[in-house]
Amino acid sequence: MTILLAPMEGLLDPSLRDVLTRVGGVDRCVSEFIRITDQLLPERVFTRLMPELLTGSRTAAGVPVRAQLLGSDPACLADNAARLAELGAEGIDLNFGCPARTVNRHRGGAVLLDEPELVGRIVAAVRRAVPARLPVSAKMRLGHRDDSLRLEAARAIADGGAAELVVHARTKLQGYRPPAHWDRIAAIREAVAMPVIANGEIWTVADARRARAESGCQGLMLGRGLVADPGLGWALRAADGQAAVEVGWPQLLPLLALYWARIAGRTAPRHRAGRLKQWLNLLRRRHPQAQAAFDALRPLDDPARVSEWFGAVAEEPRSAACRGGSQPSEPELPTAACRQA
């Protein structure tokens, strides 16, 4: 079973990709979209938006990251894809799924699904522009206003030379409202001769089982579900018969501190606390301890005070150990060997 970490603009940034892939259970990530309009972006823009380009297109844990481009100009997208190839990109992913109004108003993302012929020309232009060894993939929704053109769009992506397609099982108008219509992916999978991966509203192992059964897809892309439960990838693998890996709050707390350190280097001070609270807000769906942490940090916006909170939390186990006369062991995270299991 292939498990991909979704591109989620404003949430799954390089810092969170770094931390979540350290947990393991994920085969590949896709970057937040890189907006292409009418120019060839300079190298510094690509490396700022996807710093993994500086480390072989891999996170610190060694998980590949594929660069995602968004736009509507086939020639310009092709030129920027070629530059990404020169920078060592692991692959190129094309965004035909973003539901954001601003993006759609400027002819990007899911609105392009109303123009399957253009979608096909974009994929073909990018495929021609990059070396044959470099995979080109795409992500789409079921459609823009409805799903009547989903098969035409998927066939255009396949005919353009894409090697893989992720389908978010909702239209643009359906946004992120439950349910996801995984059964509507089945016809797409049957219509194209390339791997199709199901995405949308997968929060639990039970959701994943239903998504696979209804779509017929073996591979899954996880977004908010994995952010809320970083151990979900391992739980899915355990359900498929692989060894179980413990990912509870003791394992996550050091990763929260690491995330805080990572965003301090990439985010303006006034936005740092908000990014941390955004992750905690999702974590509390799965971990009761995250609710207490969220409540404690909710009134704090000063980065110094947030850092003080992390310092106090780190001191608590040490104080308890001193009272008990022994030192606590460090929480164990999945090892590299586990990640490859």
| Residue 306 belongs to domain with CATH number | 1.20.225
User: Does 331 score more than 50 pLDDT?
Assistant: no
My answer on whether 261 and 320 are in the same domain is yes
Residue 161's pLDDT is what?
98
Dump pLDDT digits (tens) for 296-316: 999 999 999 999 999 999 877
Q: At 236, is the pLDDT very low, low, confident or very high (cuts 50, 70, 90)?
A: very high
Specify the number of domains making up the chain.
Answer: 2
Buried b (16+ CB within 10 A) or exposed e, 211-240: bbebbbbebbbbbbbbbbbbbbbbbbbeee
Lowest mean pLDDT among 117-121, 131-135, 315-319: 315-319
Residue 339's pLDDT is what?
37
Q: Tell me the H-state helices in 138-264.
A: 150-159, 185-191, 205-215, 224-228, 232-239, 249-264
Residue 321's pLDDT is what?
42
My answer on whether 165 and 293 are in the same domain is no
Residue 317's pLDDT is what?
57
Residue 314's pLDDT is what?
81
Q: Which range of residues forms the domain containing residue 73?
A: 3-239
My answer on whether 171 and 138 are in the same domain is yes
DSSP-derived secondary structure letter, 246: -
The predicted model gives 106-122 an average pLDDT of 96
CA distance 310 to 296: 11
Count CA atoms closer than 13 A to 303's CA, side-chain side.
Answer: 14
My answer on whether 160 and 264 are in the same domain is no
Residue 296's pLDDT is what?
96
On whether residue 111 sits in a domain, the answer given is yes
User: Does 333 score more than 60 pLDDT?
Assistant: no
Residue 303's pLDDT is what?
96
My answer on whether 162 and 253 are in the same domain is no
- Between 107 and 115, the more confident residue is 115
- Between 334 and 280, the more confident residue is 280
Residue 265's pLDDT is what?
87
Active site residues: 98
My answer on whether 139 and 157 are in the same domain is yes
Dump pLDDT digits (tens) for 183-203: 999 999 999 999 999 999 999
Q: Where are the beta strands (DSSP E) in 123-195?
A: 136-143, 164-171
User: Does 237 score more than 50 pLDDT?
Assistant: yes
DSSP-derived secondary structure letter, 299: T
For the chain, the average pLDDT equals 92
- Looking at 239, 274, 308, the residue that finishes a domain is 239
- Between 265 and 238, the more confident residue is 238
The predicted model gives 120-135 an average pLDDT of 98
Residue 329's pLDDT is what?
39
My answer on whether 172 and 45 are in the same domain is yes
User: Does 179 score more than 80 pLDDT?
Assistant: yes
User: Does 62 score more than 50 pLDDT?
Assistant: yes
Share of the chain above pLDDT 70, in %: 93
Please name the amino acid found at residue 153: A
My answer on whether 235 and 158 are in the same domain is yes
Q: At 337, is the pLDDT very low, low, confident or very high (cuts 50, 70, 90)?
A: very low
CA torsion, ordered 121, 81, 70, 229, to nearest 10 deg: 120
The predicted model gives 166-189 an average pLDDT of 97
The predicted model gives 94-116 an average pLDDT of 94
CA distance 186 to 331: 42
| Residue 212 belongs to domain with CATH number | 3.20.20.70
My answer on whether 61 and 105 are in the same domain is yes
